[in-house]
Structure 1
Amino acid sequence: MIDPDTHAGDWVAGDDTDAADEAEDMPLSLRLSIADALTLGNATCGFMAVYFTTTGILIPHLTGSTETGMARNSAATAVILMLAAAIFDLFDGIVARKLRSSPMGAELDNLSDLISFGLAPAYFVLVYGMVADDAQQKVSAVAAIVVLLAVVLRLARFSCVTMKDGIFQGMPSPFGALTVVSIVLLELPFIPTLLAIIGVAWLMVSRVEYPKPRGVLAVAMLSWIVGAMGMLAAWAFDAPGGQFLLQTGCALQVVMGAVIPLFATARRVNTFRGSRRESREARAAQTP
């Protein structure tokens, strides 16, 4: 006959052992590294960009407010927050390589990028379609969905496909998000704006190779982001030449988004031609 007290004691002891094991494992799984903290900063900036887009642009439009300054300040703040998210995204990778990242690092990075460079710019496009004079809400909603799904597919592919070191396949989502927002801020006619946004979404899921921002390129990107923040601040506070600076910065961002794929494609074609030429020369050398 089994002693109930003894049997219960065995189970209690076993539970204590399991609880102790779980207690040992739990802090390790939830412990955040410095890189993870930067990644969470990325997500926070993306969420706040959505907040300012809603409270400063959409709600005043729906309530019939005529305070254009508020909309301008909120639009600038939302984009500056997306730029700040890009800075966090740039540095979390650098810190993770130099120090360490937790087991959650890769997942946190993808989820944060989805918020800051998928949801935030897509929502910005959606709101643009609601407040612009010549925009069409339903078509803008479709464009916003295209941007969001492109980022989702881009991030999913990044997690599944192993690329050559130092290379991204498809336009990186931070660069794509900033290009989409720049297209909106240029205030072009609706149809060209829509086509350009869809073009950027296609580039994000394309096979065009982009260099990863490391070394000099990372410094150049950081400098560009900080400069863009300054342009947005000048525009938000209606500084002399602020509108010109904003238009110039947005135009440069869009031009870079269009030119980089051309250079990447040309380099790939030249590499392919060089390989074929070397193969022909090797076969010719082997022919008696």
Structure 2
Amino acid sequence: MTPTESAEGVAAAERPAGAVEAAPLLRLGVADYLTLGNALCGFLAVWALVVAQTAHAAAGAAGPLPRTAMATVVGLMMVAAALDVLDGRVARKLGGSGMGAELDNLADVISFGFAPAFFFVVWAMQAGDAGLLPVAAGGAVLLAVIVRLARFSCQAPGADYFTGLPCPFGAMAVVTVVLLDPPLLAGVAAVLLISWLMVSRMEYPKPRGRKAYAVLGVLGFGVALMAAWGMGLPAGQSLIYLMSALVLGFIVTIPFYVLATRRSASARG
């Protein structure tokens, strides 16, 4: 996940002390193009949101944005998350450039920091609250992503767990809060909790091997679900509620599962 764990980064960690370091490869690799696609999806999500909000205001409509616009924005953020999973796998198989980790961090700030924060603020505005409280909650999301990425960059590679909720999952959690459309104060509290989880010491397993393919499958299903919901197909709203509840439940319960598993292993040892 973030940042891209390239083959060069692994080789650098295993290089004997005193060995001469080769100059980093500064040309874009295949994995870097996937990372740039991640950033582009985040930008397009913000652009689609601004266009939908402008059209909504020009038409004099009240209430939430149209489903098609919401589905487009969320779908783009899910594609960004899928590309974020893929770029790490491609970098490990084909090798990455010396810019890979830096590009990954910058892309993640756009797609999983600014885009979901802006999405939440726009939702609050459409709900009739243009005060500072939703802006503060959105700002907390953005700052949590920046701090988490900076902290992750300083950690040694190769660990089996993320410290703190990974940014893509944090972004998806903020999205689910918006889709559930709770009362404003409940939504702000949920987003602040998500922001805290991203910078907390809670541990989340890294999606490697089959887990990575499972995450990609869930994201693909999410994109299809958003398309069905946006087109107003039957049971779409019920599926959105179910999916949102599962995402939030996963985010909250997984750290406790990891902790219980470690304690069980220690007791057996």
Q: TM-score range by the shorter chain?
A: 0.7 to 0.9
Q: Contact 1:45–1:85 at 8 Å: present in 2 too?
A: yes
Deviation digits for residues 69-101 of structure 1 (CA, Å, limit 9, x no counterpart): 963211110110000001111110000000111
Gap change, CA 1:32 and 1:200, over 3 Å in 2: same
TM-score in terms of structure 1 length = 0.80
User: Partners of 1:128 and 1:137 in 2: how far apart?
Assistant: 12
User: Partners of 1:59 and 1:270 in 2: how far apart?
Assistant: 54
Measure how far apart 1:184 and its partner are.
Answer: 1.1
Structure 1 runs not aligned, ≥5 long: 1-24, 279-288
- 1:122 aligned residue: 117
Letter of the structure 1 residue corresponding to residue 212 of structure 2: A
The structure in which a higher percent of residues are helix is: 1
Measure how far apart 1:137 and its partner are.
Answer: 2.9
Dislocated runs of 4+, deviation >4 Å = 67-70, 268-271
- 1:173 aligned residue: 167
User: Partners of 2:175 and 2:93 in 1: how far apart?
Assistant: 32
- Once the two structures are superposed, the pairs formed by residues 236-275 of structure 1 within 5 Å of their partners are 236-270=230-264, 274=267
- 1:53 aligned residue: 49
Q: Contact 1:231–1:249 at 8 Å: present in 2 too?
A: no
Deviation digits for residues 29-49 of structure 1 (CA, Å, limit 9, x no counterpart): 3x2100000000000000000
Deviation digits for residues 125-154 of structure 1 (CA, Å, limit 9, x no counterpart): 111111114x45311000000000000001
- 1:32 aligned residue: 28
**Percent identical:** 45
Letter of the structure 2 residue corresponding to residue 193 of structure 1: G
Deviation digits for residues 55-80 of structure 1 (CA, Å, limit 9, x no counterpart): 11x22344353398963211110110
Higher RCO (C-alpha 8 Å, min separation 6)? 2
Number of aligned residue pairs: 247
User: Partners of 1:98 and 1:38 in 2: how far apart?
Assistant: 14
Letter of the structure 1 residue corresponding to residue 112 of structure 2: F
Whichever of the two has the greater Rg, that structure is: 1
Structure 2 runs not aligned, ≥5 long: 1-22
- Once the two structures are superposed, the pairs formed by residues 73-222 of structure 1 within 5 Å of their partners are 73-133=68-128, 135=129, 137-162=131-156, 165-222=159-216
